[in-house]
C-alpha cells in the first residue's frame, strides 16, 4: 500500500480533489440526461410511433465507444471537462428515456382513468400520478446511468487529463506504479457503490407506499433497459 495515496503533483489535484472532480464530471451529465429524458419520454408516450425510432437511435448512440465521442468533440469543445460530459449526458439519456417511458407506461390504465375522472389534466396527471408511480423504474434507470457514468469518466484520461480519478491510471502507467491504478479502480468503485446506495435511499424516501420488508426488488436495475426495443 506504499504510495497508495501519494498522488503525483502533475495531476494538480489532491486525492479528495480528484474525487470531487470525478463526481462532478459523472453526475452533472446524469442530471442533464434526466432533464432531457423526462419531456422526451413524455413525448414518446404521447406519440407512440415516436418510441421505436427514438429507441433505435439511442441504442445506436449507446453502442458508440465513449472514446470516439471524446475525440470527435475535442474539435468543438477542446480538451475540457465539457468534452467528457457531453457524451456521458447522451449515454444517460439513452438509458433514461426507455426507463421513464416504460415506467410511465406500466402505470395501470385503471389508475389513469381514475385520475382523469377526478379531473386531472394531462400535465398534472403526468407529474402527480404517472411519474411518482413510475419512480422505482426511473430510479432503476438512474442507477444504471450513474454507475456507467462514474465508470466512463476515467476514459477521459485518454484525451489529456480529463479523466479525474482516471488520470491516476495514466500516472500509474507513466510512473509504473500499479498502486495508483488500484487506487483509481477502488475509489471509483466505492464512489459508484455510494451513489447507488444514495439512489436506493432516495427511492425509499420517494415511494413510502412500497413494501420494504423482504428482499430489495429493484436491487438489480433492469439490464434490458439498455438495449430494449430494437429486437422487440
Partner 1 sequence: MNVLNFVQAFFSDGAHWHGYDGIPTRFLEHVRYAALALAIAAAIGLPVGLLTGHTGRGGNAIAFVANAARALPSFGLLVLAVLLIGFGLLPVMIPLVVLAVPPILVTTYEAVRTVDPAPVDAARGMGMRESRILFRVEVPVALPLILSGLRSAAIQIVSTATIAAYVSLGGLGRYIIDGLYQRNYEKVVGGATLVALLALVTLALFWAVGRLAVSPGVRRR
Name the residues that contact partner 1, by CB under 8 A.
59-60, 62-65, 67-69, 71-72, 75, 144, 147, 150-152, 154-155, 157-159, 165-166, 169, 172-173, 176, 178, 181-182, 184-185, 188-193, 196, 215-216, 219-220, 222-224, 226-228, 230-231
Give the angle subtended at the CA of 42 by the CAs of 130 and 103, to the nearest 5°: 45
Between the alpha carbon of residue 189 and those of residues 149, 152, 170, 183, the distances in Å are 12, 12, 18, 10
Q: Which is nearer to partner 1, 115 or 165 (CB)?
A: 165
Q: Which is nearer to partner 1, 119 or 211 (CB)?
A: 211
CA distance 200 to 50: 31
Please state the closest distance from residue 212 (CB atom) to partner 1, in A.
14
The one-character DSSP state at 170 is H
Q: How distant is the alpha carbon of residue 126 from its chain centre? A: 22
Q: Which is nearer to partner 1, 40 or 150 (CB)?
A: 150
Please state the closest distance from residue 140 (CB atom) to partner 1, in A.
11
Please state the closest distance from residue 72 (CB atom) to partner 1, in A.
6
The one-character DSSP state at 89 is H
CA distance 93 to 98: 9
Please state the closest distance from residue 169 (CB atom) to partner 1, in A.
4
Amino acid at each position: 500500500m506504499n504510495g497508495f495515496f501519494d498522488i503525483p503533483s502533475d495531476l494538480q489535484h489532491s486525492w479528495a480533489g480528484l474525487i470531487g472532480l470525478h463526481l462532478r464530471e459523472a453526475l452533472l451529465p446524469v442530471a442533464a440526461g434526466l432533464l432531457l429524458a423526462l419531456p422526451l419520454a413524455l413525448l414518446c408516450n404521447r406519440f407512440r410511433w415516436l418510441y421505436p425510432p427514438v429507441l433505435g437511435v439511442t441504442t445506436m448512440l449507446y453502442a458508440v465507444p465513449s472514446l470516439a465521442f471524446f475525440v470527435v468533440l475535442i474539435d468543438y469543445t477542446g480538451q475540457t471537462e465539457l468534452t467528457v460530459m457531453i457524451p456521458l449526458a447522451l449515454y444517460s439519456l439513452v438509458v433514461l428515456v426507455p426507463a421513464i417511458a416504460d415506467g410511465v407506461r406500466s402505470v395501470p390504465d385503471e389508475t389513469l382513468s381514475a385520475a382523469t375522472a377526478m379531473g386531472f389534466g394531462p400535465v398534472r396527471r403526468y407529474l402527480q400520478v404517472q411519474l411518482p408511480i413510475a419512480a422505482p423504474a426511473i430510479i432503476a434507470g438512474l442507477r444504471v446511468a450513474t454507475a456507467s457514468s462514474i465508470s466512463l469518466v476515467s476514459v477521459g484520461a485518454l484525451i489529456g487529463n480529463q479523466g479525474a480519478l482516471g488520470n491516476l491510471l495514466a500516472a500509474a502507467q507513466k510512473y509504473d506504479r500499479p498502486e495508483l491504478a488500484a487506487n483509481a479502480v477502488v475509489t471509483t468503485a466505492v464512489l459508484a457503490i455510494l451513489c447507488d446506495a444514495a439512489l436506493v435511499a432516495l427511492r425509499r424516501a420517494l415511494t413510502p407506499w412500497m413494501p420494504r420488508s423482504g428482499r430489495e426488488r429493484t436491487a438489480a436495475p433492469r439490464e434490458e433497459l439498455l438495449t430494449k426495443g430494437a429486437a422487440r
